[in-house]
């Protein structure tokens, strides 16, 4: 049985979704799903020697989160490494198939890709009935960091018929001037619903650049943090939640209790306080 070592939370989740989690010998500290991984040994993704000491037959890595120098060293020393770069839902399906193939679970990889692909197609189809809105995906409030074209978050917005206002050419996650939030075209802001993000929003919402968000004239949709932040199998859950909240916002200006939002202004009947998890 191959010994697997995933070096990021998303590929950890992918290994378990493929049904090969019993081969995982260690995980990085940030990996916490499924819950059973919390009892596994921990390894730092930047510590090549510690990784090698675990004698993995296959290391799973990501181009976005793992140090290419570490990956190169592992390969130079004869360790097999499979690296994925999920920048869209299409690339997520490719990753399911690729990891399945290299890990000897090609059939599981194909089946997982099919299941996720069907859910993505269904959610995307539902969103086509919604009017396009201009939006931003915020990954951090201060400094303001947004998801730009070329990121999986950009694809997430697009599939929910949200046109990304983030600038291109500055990388996938550029730091931008908060004045971008005052762009009159902006109608929706999407953010991951974690304690740090909620606390950050509470700190900045009274600043002038955040006035339209605080007043409710721009909707703020909060998505399940891990599903929305990790480009793994649960990313489809973020899409489904986003489309569902978009439907509620268009219908009556509210969102579901699991996500919460600052509803839009007059177009949806006026602003109300932020709701949802705190």
Q: What is the pLDDT of residues 55-86, one digit of tens each?
A: 999 999 999 889 999 999 999 999 999 999 99
The reply to whether 142 and 114 lie within a common domain is: no
What average pLDDT does this structure show over 261-272? 35
Q: What are phi and psi of 41, to 5 degrees?
A: -60, 150
With a cut of 90, say whether residue 166 has pLDDT above it.
Answer: yes
The reply to whether 76 and 142 lie within a common domain is: no
The reply to whether 139 and 255 lie within a common domain is: yes
- 274 within some domain: no
Domain extent at residue 37: 4-119
The reply to whether 137 and 115 lie within a common domain is: no
pLDDT of residue 64: 86
Among the three residues 63, 93, 119, which one is the final residue of a domain in this structure?
A: 119
Strands 80-84 and 133-140, sheet pairing: unpaired
Q: Which residues pair with 193 in a beta bridge?
A: 224
230: domain CATH number?
A: 3.40.50.1980
pLDDT band at 143 (very low <50, low <70, confident <90, very high): very high
- Domains in the chain: how many in total? 2
Cβ atoms 61, 68 nearer than 8 A: no
Q: What's the mean per-residue pLDDT of the chain?
A: 91
With a cut of 60, say whether residue 221 has pLDDT above it.
Answer: yes
- 277 within some domain: no
The reply to whether 10 and 69 lie within a common domain is: yes
Distance of CA 44 to the CA centre of its chain: 21
With a cut of 50, say whether residue 266 has pLDDT above it.
Answer: no
The reply to whether 247 and 136 lie within a common domain is: yes
pLDDT band at 268 (very low <50, low <70, confident <90, very high): very low
- 114 or 269, which is more confident: 114
What average pLDDT does this structure show over 216-244? 97
**Sequence-distant contacts of 195-198: CB under 8 A, at least 24 apart:** 197/138, 197/140, 197/141, 197/222, 197/225, 198/222, 198/277, 198/278
The reply to whether 261 and 161 lie within a common domain is: yes
Task: Give every CB contact of residue 119 below 8 A, 6+ residues apart in sequence.
Answer: 236, 239, 240
- 104 within some domain: yes
């Amino acid at each position: 049985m191959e010994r697997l070592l995933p070096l990021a939370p998303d590929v950890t989740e992918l290994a378990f979704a493929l049904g090969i989690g019993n081969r995982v010998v260690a995980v990085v500290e940030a990996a916490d799903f499924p819950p059973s991984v919390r009892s596994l040994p921990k390894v730092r993704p930047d510590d090549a020697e510690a990784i090698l000491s675990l004698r993995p037959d296959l290391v799973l890595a990501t181009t976005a989160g793992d140090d290419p120098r570490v990956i190169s060293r592992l390969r130079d020393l004869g360790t097999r490494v499979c690296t994925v770069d999920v920048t869209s839902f299409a690339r997520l399906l490719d990753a399911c198939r690729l990891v399945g193939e290299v890990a000897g679970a090609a059939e599981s990889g194909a089946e997982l890709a099919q299941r996720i692909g069907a859910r993505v197609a269904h959610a995307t189809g539902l969103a086509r009935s919604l009017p396009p809105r201009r939006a931003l995906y915020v990954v951090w409030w201060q400094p303001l960091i947004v998801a730009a074209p070329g990121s999986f978050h950009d694809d997430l917005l697009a599939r929910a018929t949200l046109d990304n206002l983030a600038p291109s050419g500055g990388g996938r996650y550029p730091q931008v001037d908060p004045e971008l939030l005052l762009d009159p075209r902006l109608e929706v802001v999407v953010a991951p619903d974690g304690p740090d993000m909620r606390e950050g929003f509470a700190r900045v919402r009274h600043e002038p650049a955040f006035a339209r968000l605080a007043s409710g004239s721009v909707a703020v949709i909060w998505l399940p943090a891990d599903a929305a932040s990790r480009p793994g199998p649960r990313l489809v859950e973020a899409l489904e939640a986003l489309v569902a909240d978009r439907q509620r916002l268009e219908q009556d200006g509210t969102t579901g209790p699991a996500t919460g939002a600052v509803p839009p202004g007059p177009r949806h009947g006026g602003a109300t306080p932020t709701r949802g998890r705190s």
